[in-house]
Each structure stands twice: as C-alpha cells, then as structure tokens.
A and B are shown apart, each in its own frame.
Chain A
Amino acid sequence: AQSVTQPDIHITVSEGASLELRCNYSYGATPYLFWYVQSPGQGLQLLLKYFSGDTLVQGIKGFEAEFKRSQSSFNLRKPSVHWSDAAEYFCAVGPALGTYKYIFGTGTRLKVLA
C-alpha cells in the first residue's frame, strides 16, 4: 500500500538549533517527493521538491532535504531554526505523470523556543 510516515508528531527545538524532520514512504513506482509547510489557518506552501537527479535538494527559507532510495526516506533539514519556522510540516509523495493525487504524511508540528 502507498503511504507516507512522519514518525514525529511534535518537535520542539530552540531557536538557532539544527532541525531534522523525518519522512519515510512506501510507493510502488518512482515517486516525486515534496515538503510543504502550513501556518495556522493557512494553506500549504511548497518548501522543496525532488523529481530526479541530485539527491540533496535545496528549498526556500534555508531548508534542504535528502532523498535516500535505499531507506525510502526524504528527511527535511535546516542548520539553524528561526522562530518564524514554527508551523506544521507535511511530507508528500506523488506520481511522475498522469495525476496529481498526492499522499500526505500526518504532519510534524514544530515549536521553536526563544
């Protein structure tokens, strides 16, 4: 079955500390992988995406993610977290063509301590 797992429901980090959010997926075909961020009451903003090529991808707001095929993982990282990064983060997988039916993880809520 196709699925996305974000094992951490909540994560709390201090401002300036590094961050890693985990994402594991199960998908039959070669997936497209995404990280989205959602602030309270808002829609989803795309942070970064992986389609093919270099397995380390850079996104907006200083985020990066690494695709590891052998581990079926696509973890999100940021070297130094800012208070404004507090939000909910969603990992998603989608097919390479034909449909935009994404499968989302359950999300990780990030709290940043001043």
Chain B
Amino acid sequence: KAGVTQTPRYLIKTRGQQVTLSCSPISGHRSVSWYQQTPGQGLQFLFEYFSETQRNKGNFPGRFSGRQFSNSRSEMNVSTLELGDSALYLCASSFEKGDMNTEAFFGQGTRLTVV
C-alpha cells in the first residue's frame, strides 16, 4: 500500500510569490491534515480536511489556505510568501473507523525555501 505522497519535495520561491503544495493520502483515508515544521516553532497544526470540508484550523494567517478534492487529495496554498514561511510542510492522512480516531500517517514533506 502506497504511503502519503507529497509533491514537490523541494521548492524555492521568492518573497511575495505564492505556492501550492500537494498531498495524496493513503488509499481509503479521507482525513488529511497539514503541519508546518520549523526549527523555532516546531510542529504546528495548519488545518485539517475531511470529506472536502475544513474541519479544523490552526492559528495561521489567512495567507495559508487549503482544500480537499473528492478523491481525498489535498492542496495547500500560501500567498504573498514571507521569509518566515520557509519550513518543512508535512501532510498526514488518517482512516476514520466509525466514531473513533486512528493514527495519522505522515508524508515525507515538502521543503519550502523563501528567498
């Protein structure tokens, strides 16, 4: 079974540009969540999608947005990039079994560098 796939693996963007990152969850997983990882702030929750609906959102500015498609694939977008947006962006997918959560499986991440 293929794992969580994130593309691209590496990106270099210029301040002020926008960027779109993609995440393909494990087959059968309908929940996708996104995290930002930086040396200073650690792992921080960005947002979460389930069945194409945003279910939860972290404390990030509106420049960070996302969406989920009917096949559960998800994208996140960052507009007007700032130097501080340089980070490893991790996507995780989960299988929801009835009312109870299960574990989240993470992808390899997309390393975004803003120059």
Chain A 89-101: CB-based contact to B (< 8 A → 1; otherwise 0): 0101011111111
- Contacts A96-B101, A106-B42 given: A101-B106 contact, CB under 8 Å? no
CB-based contact B103/A96 at 8 Å:
no
- Contacts A43-B106, A44-B106, A102-B45 given: A97-B99 contact, CB under 8 Å? yes
Which residues from chain A contact B100 at a C-beta distance below 8 Å?
51, 96-97
> Is A32 close to B, CB under 8 A?
yes
CB-based contact B111/A100 at 8 Å:
no
CB-based contact B48/A101 at 8 Å:
yes
> Is B105 close to A, CB under 8 A?
yes
Chain B contact residues: helix, strand, loop or mixed? strand
The interface size of chain A toward B, counting residues with CB under 8 Å, comes to: 27
> Is B66 close to A, CB under 8 A?
no
Chain A 18-61: CB-based contact to B (< 8 A → 1; otherwise 0): 00000000000000101010000111111001010000000000
Binding site for A on B (CB under 8 A): 4, 6, 31, 33, 35, 42-43, 45, 48, 55-56, 58, 90, 92, 94, 99-101, 103-109, 111
